[in-house]
Amino acid sequence: MAKSRPVFDGAKLALDGGVPVRTIPWPTYDNGAVCVDDNDCFAASRVIKSKLLYRYDFRDIDDTEAGRLENELAKFFNVKYSLAVSSGTTALSLSMMACGIGVGDEVLCSSFGFPASPSSIILTGAKPVLVEVDENLHMDIDDVKKKINPLTKAILMIHMRGQAGDIEQVVQIAEENGIPLIEDAVPVLGLKIGDKHLGTFGIVGAFSTQSDKSMNTGEGGFILTDDREIFERAIVLCGAYEGRLERHCKGWKSTINQYALPLYNFRMDEIRAAVARTQLKKVPGRLNVMKENYARACSIIEASPQLRIREPVWVILFYFRLMATMLTRRSGSPTHSTLRVSSADPSPI
Ligand SMILES: Cc1ncc(COP(=O)(O)O)c(C=O)c1O
């Protein structure tokens, strides 16, 4: 006979001495592992068998895995340019460096994020200035306005835990102040507002393909932009040395002085690029599963008078670690959110 599972009745949280819903420990599998299949194995071994593990060899860029991945990413996200890189952190730093951010500059950064985000600002030599979040853990618009000063050279908006903040307002503030908006779109890979992907609202969007993310290549990342000059600068800074920039310039002549830029090796290799290509195909399916899980988790949590779910600025936003689907703007409702452990204790979890 099947064992009956304890049901969460909403009366008392386990934290407060209630009956735990789980009687066995949470499984310790790695998130990404469940999405690695024979296609990924085939892709990785295809590259190893070819013995061409490095993206900038004798081949035309469109014959390399990294080049093909970049074409496929640009198509998937509906942007002009994409560049594959070594991690989400390097994607973020590179985005800012390509915008000219460096020593002496300040970059506003959401305070609800992952340490990699402010760290990526430090890597450029600039100073991260943390912006408060509102009660829904979204970037606080008033605090953004308050903290902008003549040293502010960019805004780094983090779409933390799969929820987009008020991107329209932040785009407007960035435009009014003539500074670039960079999106840390790591936790929202594949998520859209209307028909526009998050990570394509700012001047550059940065993504990770580390194993915890919606694409799993172990480590890795990419940037997206429609700005050709920023793209060209990013290519060089990323490590396209001795004229390799030209390989990326399809049908146009580069206008930047590539030899005036430093070269950092933030490049992606061919094995990971090949795996990223198969992983990209799985993104829509993974997002659907996350959406179902989120709906299920919410339906249970909503029953509790003690728990409250973080309210999104954009509705039909599904988050349960890394969650996404199509979004539309939430109309006129106040944003009250945050999953709290109890109504008496305002600390978000
Ligand atoms: C919001 C956010 N930004 C950036 C990163 C950094 O990505 P990576 O680990 O690929 O450097 C992470 C990683 O978890 C993240 O959650």
Q: Which residue has the higher pLDDT, 177 or 30?
A: 177
pTM for the complete prediction? 0.87
**Residue to mutate (ligand 1; options 186, 216, 272, 322; most atoms within 8 A of CB):** 186
Residue type, 336: H
**Residue to mutate (ligand 1; options 209, 210, 216; most atoms within 8 A of CB):** 210
Ligand 1 atom nearest to CA at 212: 14
Are 84 and 223 in contact by the 8 Å Cβ rule? The answer is no
**Phi first, then psi: what are they for 107, rounded to 5°?**
-125, 125
Cα 185 to ligand 1 centroid, rounded to whole Å = 9
Residue type, 226: D
Ligand 1 atom nearest to CA at 184: 3
Which residues on neighbouring strands pair with residue 131, listed in sequence order?
Answer: 110
Q: Say what percent of the chain tops pLDDT 90.
A: 68
What integer pLDDT is reported at residue 343 of this predicted model? 26
Please tell me the least confidently modeled range out of 17-31, 82-96, 257-271, 322-336: 322-336
Question: What are the tens digits of pLDDT across the range 230-246?
Answer: 999 999 999 999 999 99
Cα 312 to ligand 1 centroid, rounded to whole Å = 21
Q: Which residue has the higher pLDDT, 300 or 225?
A: 225
Domain ranges of the chain: 38-278, 283-348
Question: What is the DSSP pairing of strand 192-193 with strand 326-329?
Answer: parallel
Question: What are the tens digits of pLDDT across the range 5-17?
Answer: 555 666 677 888 8
Distance, CA of 120 to CA of 114 (rounded, Å): 10
Question: What are the tens digits of pLDDT across the range 156-193?
Answer: 999 998 888 899 999 999 999 999 999 999 999 999 99
What integer pLDDT is reported at residue 141 of this predicted model? 96
What integer pLDDT is reported at residue 309 of this predicted model? 80
Which residues, in sequence order, are CB contacts of 228 under 8 Å at separation 6+? 80, 81, 252
What integer pLDDT is reported at residue 344 of this predicted model? 27
Q: Which fold has domain 38-278?
A: Aspartate Aminotransferase; domain 2 (3.40.640)
**Between the CA atoms of 227, 230, 273 and 244, what dihedral angle is there, to the nearest 10 degrees?**
120
